[in-house]
Amino acid sequence: MSFVEYGDTIKDGDTAIVFLGHESMFPVKVQHGTVTQTKYGVIRHSTDLIGKKYGSKVTCSKGGWVFILHPTPELWTMNLPHRTQILYSTDISIITMMLELKPGSIVCESGTGSGSLSHALIRTVAPTGHLYTVEFHQQRAEKAQEEFREHGVEHLVTVTNQDVCKNGFGVSNIADAVFLDIPSPWEAIGHAKSALKAEGGRICSFSPCIEQVQRTCLAMEECGFTEINTLEILLRVYNVRTISLQIPDLGKASEDNSSTGFDSSNPSHQGSPCANLQQGTVQFKSGVPLREVVGHTGYLTFATKS
């Protein structure tokens, strides 16, 4: 099993996603002789998972059923164990695009955190690219290295435990892009410039506060970065619903129906606009925004090494 190469069947040692519904899923490490408890009953790894195809419908001991999905960076973002605040797919997608990443790209990242963005970056630069990720916290760095090994992507990533603001990324003049998600990114701009290739490399800094953005932009200008711009991604979801509205009585419906020969008793006319006029309401599909939406996550500042 690998997060960057699709596997057809579930194997012992794989990480799989148990899907109970769009709002209910969790990861599980498949192990021979192990069982997993769900609200629909027990899943026995030896008989219910190992050897089955990903996407299979598995019946639990209580008669309910779940789907077993192959892990992807998007599914992992929704289900990973949180060691820090993470980036979600809304921000990850624009980061990947604006950094101009592609298979074969070399990327430097700090900090690693829970590895949400890291998995997406690895999938984008595979199979010939590489991610150099730096994490200040030793336990988080070790856990990230363990997860990359379990997920079959350790050959595509190098995890370093050090302070990027003092010691940099450990590489020079090779990176196509640099991503910063640290409290004081302005202190690492010089190291980011050193890690980037000679010309045209891209940098992105994620910061939740506008004061951090201001200091980072000033540092970018001092280091000679160009095309500096900051943006914010806000996600607004709409639900499609059937809306019923009452038709105003304009006093001409009966006259118009008689003049056109409309027969309300004819079944073929029951669904027509005229029938709705006589009933006093009309139904149509409409997009309705959710009452609660995801608000501010952070500001994304992009720049280019000239």
CA distance 54 to 73: 16
Binding-site residues for S-adenosyl-L-methionine, in ranges, read 114-117, 135, 163, 181
Estimate the crossing angle of helix 89-98 against helix 116-125, to 10 degrees. Answer: 40
Closest CA to 205 of 221, 191, 188: 188
For CATH 3.10.330.20, the residue range(s) in the chain are: 9-71
Residue 2 contacts residue 122 (beta carbons within 8 Å): no
d(Cα 9, Cα 14) in Å, to the nearest integer? 10
112-126, 158-172, 273-287: the lowest-pLDDT one: 273-287
Query: What confidence tens digit (pLDDT) does each residue in 148-182 have?
Result: 999 999 999 999 999 999 999 999 999 999 999 99
Measured between alpha carbons, how far is 2 from 67 in angstroms, rounded to an integer? 19
Q: What is the mean pLDDT of residues 141-145?
A: 96
For 9-71, CATH gives: 3.10.330.20
Residue 263 pLDDT > 90, yes or no? no
Using DSSP's 3-state secondary structure scheme, residue 94 falls into helix
Q: Where in the sequence of the chain do the CATH 3.40.50.150 domains occur?
A: 76-231+296-305
What DSSP character marks residue 58?
E
- Report the binding-site residues: 114-117, 135, 163, 181
Mean pLDDT of 290-295: 78
Superfamily of segment(s) 76-231+296-305: Vaccinia Virus protein VP39 (3.40.50.150)
- Separation between Cα atoms, residue 81 and residue 14, nearest integer Å: 17
pLDDT at 271 over 60: no
Higher pLDDT, 166 or 271: 166
